Amino acid sequence: MNKQTFELIVVLSFIIWMTGVVTLFVLLLKRYTFGKWDNENQNPHAGETLSIPRGFFRGTLTLSLLFFVILFYIGDFYFEYGSGKLGELTTAFEMMLAFYFGAKVMHHLASNDKNKTKAIVENMKKTNNRLPLVPANNDFEDEESVG
């Protein structure tokens, strides 16, 4: 395979990929945003962006970037395009993945912490236990440690 053939394959792959993404986006818009929803049959994704299922945009961007990074790596492997620039693209991809999954982890940790706190409060209400707002013993061994 020569360089011109590979470049043609990359361009065609880009066109096919973007056509698929745009088609999927239009189908989701038709189904969820402009779908036939009423009071009895409400859109379950009504609070999301354009009433499309949650994570569609982030997932599409991630998969698109992964697709193009793989194409560029294949091109660099066979034809040795500028290797220095590919490292920057890889760094951008890694950072995007780190932020995506990092945000997801923090979201799950925060919601899990809220659920635990609610469970503790409910348990305390049932048993009439109260946590003291001020420690019972205010005596300090060293007077300088008092704030």
Quickly state the pLDDT bin for 55 (edges 50, 70, 90).
confident
pTM, two decimals, is 0.58
Contact 20, 67 (CB under 8 A): no
Q: What is the reported pLDDT for 19?
A: 95
Predicted confidence (pLDDT) at residue 38 exceeds the cutoff of 60? yes
At residue 145 the predicted structure's pLDDT band, cuts being 50, 70 and 90, is: low
Averaged pLDDT of the chain: 77
**Confidence (pLDDT) at 25:** 93
Parse the chain into domains and list their residue ranges: 3-35+44-126
Q: What is the mean pLDDT of residues 51-57?
A: 85
The CB-based long-range contact list for 24-32 (8 Å cut-off, 24+ gap) reads 24/60, 25/60, 28/52, 28/53, 28/56
